[in-house]
Amino acid sequence: MEDRLGAGPRSALDGCGLDAGRDWNGDVRELATGRGWFRVAELAATFLVFAGVMHFLYAGKANIPFEDRGAPGHDSFYHIKMAALMPDIGLPDTFPWLRTTVFNETFVNHHYGFQWLMSFAVRLSHRWTGDYAAGGRWFTTVSFGLSMALFHLLLMVRGIQRRWLWMALCLLLPSQFYGRHLFVRAIDPSLVCMLLLCWCMFTRRWLAGGIVVCLSIHVYLGAVIYAPLLVICVVVAGALVTCSELWTTHATWQDGRLREIRSDLCRIAAATFAGWVVGLWTHPYGGTAAIEFLNLQVFGSGLSPDIEVGQEWESYSPAWFFVEMSGITLTVAASAILLRLCAGRRAGVGEVATVLMQLVFLILTMKARRFIEYWPLFATLSSAYLAGPLVDRIGAMIVESRTIRRHAVVGLLCAWGVTGCVLLGRRMAVHIPMEFVREWRWWTMLVGVAAIIPMARAGSDSRGIASVIRTVAAWAGVCGATAIIIRQLAGPRTIEAAELTVPWWAFVISAGVLASFRVAGGITVSGSGVSHDKLFVLRRWAMTVACTVLLIGVTAVPAGALLGHMQSESRCQYDLPAIRTVMAVLEADSEPGDVVFTDDWDIFPVYFYLNHRSHYIVGLDPKFSHQKDPVLWERYVRISRGETPVTRSVTVMEDGKPMVKRIHVRLADIRDHFHAKYVIVDRDHLALAKKLLEMPAFATRLYPASASGDDRPAYQLFRILPESSGAGRPSQPATGAEPVGDGGG
């Protein structure tokens, strides 16, 4: 277990059989990278750092009451509410809350596992704070930290020594990567499952890989597609490496190394396929219904829609926006490939597989922007696998050099680099939000946590008190430099009071943990018989601290701009107090199960979150309503836009053939076709509100009161009057459609 967790390549999958286990760090490699508990501590530090980043992004709402902070994104509220209801309603086969969708009669909850995992946090937060949404934010924070810890584990598996360099690059991933991961959705649990599957494949844990595939399908049904994509990338990579061996060497099919690769790939394919079948078969919504739903979700709504769908399924336009947003990630990925081509060894199966993975997700991202939630991390993983050994070799040459002149040059360059970063940061201060700068204590604490293991690893073999003092002093210097650099980014602006509390004892505990690690002496450095004299130790410490501070200085400016802006954009886009007021009026006037006509399909989650007594018309995805009844969907589109009365042509399928029908859409269809008793309209659909106000015999406004004097209220609630009033009665039959031709005409 210890070798597989942290040592270099140990399998054909990671070294292509030719040079598996080759040490690319010369004589300076760590002895098995330390004891197991040191590696666990490093993973724990990674988890804390990136959970802290996510906590920062969720913060910045001190002026908003806790119960009104909500969560970013539309669907977040749906998942939080379903997690809260799941212990009570179980796994429903129908979804009565959406009357005109395919879910109303046959419900496929493709997120049931994710919602079940989140239900404990959601209910706990409601008991402690009275707010369900806080539990969703907690769960997302923990899931994101776990995904980054698994990313770090994959770097350990590869034997990469300068791991925190690549983790720092993760702070510079595209803004929409972090924006997507702020949503309370199955994105983070799905990423955790994918990274865990990669770890199983790269460490030859076939049975565990099959179990992960099975469980990932239960967590998120989309794993039916994602898991095979990852496995196919590994199998194709193995085939490419095998063919390369046959073409460029004198190896034969019976060669032991190639036979090992084939055996590994066959076991991977068999175990994961078995897990895929078992997962789909045991899924409570599995079988034909699940396959039909995935076909509708992925192709009908996602990759080849025939109606207007959510923006997340659209491609980036213009494409240059994607290039600008992902500039650092793209540059690092391209540079890693070039470095490997110019100065690296032949790529192994693991390296080729990560390249294929990032290419697959890049293609998906260019087709639908929602896949930005996965591609950047796989691109960084591929870059680390390709260029990591070379970067480690260069770093070892710098840090472990015994030449004073080389140390002096590197130290001078580091000093110039830090000074340049600070000056650039002050010049760009207006572009770095104060939301980032004012939390300088928070960032200092996270850097201190991240630096514990690197500082412990940089210590000498000595376990004396001098070594402990030197280690803690160097760590304190790194923390102090971090505080100075971030505070300088404020420029002439006044630093506001921080919103995230950082107690002084957090730094004391971190220093104590570092000191205990040095006393334990669990991580030593092999010097190949070279005496570690005092001057050599001091030079190595100076280079370690200088390079660490330089990394912080280089990262601070772009990360500050990115994370600061992301925090300001991550707030809930809904006016929760206003919606809560409308829902209170609705609940007081209605009966459970009354149908509410909403003015847009994406507003359903927040209404459902605040009021699940009522039922609604459309939601979650417009294709779910269009698939069930294209005629009714067309009525909804025209009514919600205030385009009534109007006659429209709609293409429907009858007996397997397309037929065009003409329908006459009237405002009264709200009552006669949708059977709605209430209508909620926001200020983005004032045309519909105007139509309702112009027909007092058909609808009466319950909220706001007519005497309020607000001509553009945030939300308006109307009650639809009974048909006996005679208002707006349609002149056509209930079907409201007549055939005018078939085919396309």
* Mean pLDDT, residues 272-298: 83
Per-residue pLDDT at 413: 61
Look-up of token digits 């000093």: 415
Q: Which helix (H) or strand (E) holds 702?
A: strand 699-703
Q: Among 75-84, 134-143, 187-196, 393-402, where is mean pLDDT lowest?
A: 393-402
Cα 158 from Cα 384, distance rounded (Å): 9
What's the pLDDT band for 538 if we cut at 50, 70, 90? low
580 against 568, higher pLDDT: 580
Q: How far does Cα 229 stand from its chain's mean position?
A: 18
What's the pLDDT band for 534 if we cut at 50, 70, 90? low
664: which strand partners? 647
Per-residue pLDDT at 744: 34
Q: Which amino acid is at 211?
A: I
For 122, phi then psi, to 5°, come to -65, -45
* Mean pLDDT, residues 181-188: 93
pLDDT in tens, 237-270: 988 888 877 777 666 666 667 778 788 888 999 9
pLDDT in tens, 314-370: 888 888 889 988 989 999 999 999 888 887 677 888 899 999 999 999 999 998 888
Q: What is the dihedral of CA 574, 576, 581, 583, to 10 degrees?
A: 70
What's the pLDDT band for 202 if we cut at 50, 70, 90? very high
Cα 175 from Cα 2, distance rounded (Å): 36
* Mean pLDDT, residues 634-650: 88
Would you say residue 489 has pLDDT above 50? Answer: yes
pLDDT in tens, 393-435: 777 776 666 565 555 666 666 665 666 666 655 555 556 788 8
703: which strand partners? 717
347 against 46, higher pLDDT: 46
What's the pLDDT band for 571 if we cut at 50, 70, 90? confident
Q: What is the dihedral of CA 280, 286, 292, 296, to 10 degrees?
A: -80
Would you say residue 595 has pLDDT above 60? Answer: yes
Kindly list the distances between the CA atom of residue 656 and the CA atoms of 96, 98, 499, 661, 665, in Å, as whole numbers in the listed order.
28, 26, 61, 15, 25
150 against 540, higher pLDDT: 150
Per-residue pLDDT at 540: 67
* Mean pLDDT, residues 211-238: 93
| Residues shown for the chain | 745
Would you say residue 213 has pLDDT above 70? Answer: yes
Contacts of 323 (CB under 8 A, 6+ apart): 330
In the chain, the percentage of residues whose pLDDT exceeds 90 is 34
Per-residue pLDDT at 33: 41
Residues 421, 554 contacting (CB under 8 angstroms): yes
Number of H helices, E strands in the chain: 29, 8
Per-residue pLDDT at 723: 75
Would you say residue 386 has pLDDT above 70? Answer: yes
* Mean pLDDT, residues 471-499: 84
Kindly list the distances between the CA atom of residue 37 and the CA atoms of 166, 507, 511, in Å, as whole numbers in the listed order.
22, 21, 18
Per-residue pLDDT at 117: 94
pLDDT in tens, 108-162: 888 999 999 999 999 999 999 888 999 999 999 999 999 999 999 999 988 888 8
> Which residue from 259, 97, 230 is spatially nearest to 611, judged by alpha carbons?
97
DSSP β-ladder status, 715-720 and 699-703:
antiparallel
Per-residue pLDDT at 530: 41
- Strand order of the β-sheet with 595-598 is 615-616, 595-598, 678-682, 715-720, 699-703
Would you say residue 21 has pLDDT above 80? Answer: no
297 against 403, higher pLDDT: 297
In the chain, the percentage of residues whose pLDDT exceeds 70 is 79
3-state DSSP of 349-370: HHHHHHHHHHHHHHHHHHHCHH
Residues 152, 169 contacting (CB under 8 angstroms): no
> Which residue from 211, 275, 271, 257 is spatially nearest to 349, judged by alpha carbons?
257
pLDDT in tens, 424-469: 555 555 567 888 888 889 999 999 998 888 887 765 555 567 778 8
Per-residue pLDDT at 581: 92
Q: Which helix (H) or strand (E) holds 583?
A: helix 576-589
Per-residue pLDDT at 433: 81
Q: Dig out the tokens for 235 from the structure.
A: 């199998």
Residues 306, 357 contacting (CB under 8 angstroms): no
Residues 369, 39 contacting (CB under 8 angstroms): no
Per-residue pLDDT at 401: 60
The whole-chain average pLDDT of the chain stands at 80
Q: How far does Cα 35 stand from its chain's mean position?
A: 31
Residues 442, 498 contacting (CB under 8 angstroms): yes
Per-residue pLDDT at 535: 61
> Which residue from 198, 176, 199 is spatially nearest to 187, judged by alpha carbons?
176
Q: Which residues of 465-480 are buried (b: 16+ CB within 10 A; e: fewer)?
A: eebbebbbebbbbbbe
Angle 127-128-130 from CA coordinates, rounded to 5°: 65
Would you say residue 8 has pLDDT above 90? Answer: no
Q: Among 98-102, 183-187, 334-338, 708-712, where is mean pLDDT lowest?
A: 708-712
Other Cβ atoms closer than 10 A to 568: 13
> Looking at the whole model, is its pTM more than 0.85?
yes
What's the pLDDT band for 714 if we cut at 50, 70, 90? confident
Per-residue pLDDT at 742: 33
* Mean pLDDT, residues 175-183: 92
Per-residue pLDDT at 741: 36
* Mean pLDDT, residues 67-88: 89
Q: Which helix (H) or strand (E) holds 284?
A: none
Per-residue pLDDT at 652: 80
